[in-house]
Structure 1
Amino acid sequence: MYISLYDLGLFILFAVLVTCGIYLIAVLRRVLCMLNQAQGILNAHQGDIGKTVSMFQETLININALTVTLQEATAQTTSAVRALPSEITETVEDLRESFETFALYARIAGEVVKSVFSK
């Protein structure tokens, strides 16, 4: 009793298919267990999920209001920052004029003191 190559190839092919089938069944069983566990978690937290989803609308409204407020604050800050250099320049000019006036008065006072005490 001899086994032909055809029968041997058929047997090897059948063994590979059976092994792949068993492996596929094990993988599918594991995936099904994971999906059942995920469904259990979702069912356990159904109320929390519903509450969270119902708050999305309010959250989006608050985010939109915050965005508008932030844009307004940015616009005000931008205008204030742009006005700042001109205000600094005006303050420096006023300060320089005050120092020049003070220096002039100091020179005049010095000349008066010089003329009074020099005689």
Structure 2
Amino acid sequence: MILTAGVSGAMFLVSAILVSVSILYGVTANSDREKNSPFECGFDPVGSVPVSLSLRFFLIAVIFLVFDVEIALLLPSFEGLLESKLVTWVFLGEGIFINLISGSYHEWREGALDWKS
């Protein structure tokens, strides 16, 4: 379905209004020192809590999300392509799937999936 410029503009305007209203009225909660401090079973917190992010975990999570989204978007189309009985589409689907498998193999061979490296 092709949207006209007026409908697209109206959708953009409505979304811009909603974003601006949420920015203006969404930050009404007062920040409090006690609310921002870590909770340690009723005791006063000792020192500050270091916030660390494992770069290896982040890299594996991003790789997982990329391949997961690709597979989630492609698997339903494979079934539709198989039902259409078009050999070209079947080979195209198999090529995309082989490309995903080879990408996973490449990430594994480069060591991006090794947790203890």
Say yes or no: TM over 0.5: no
Greater Cα radius of gyration, structure 1 or 2: 1
Q: Please give the TM-score of this superposition, normalised by the length of structure 2.
A: 0.28
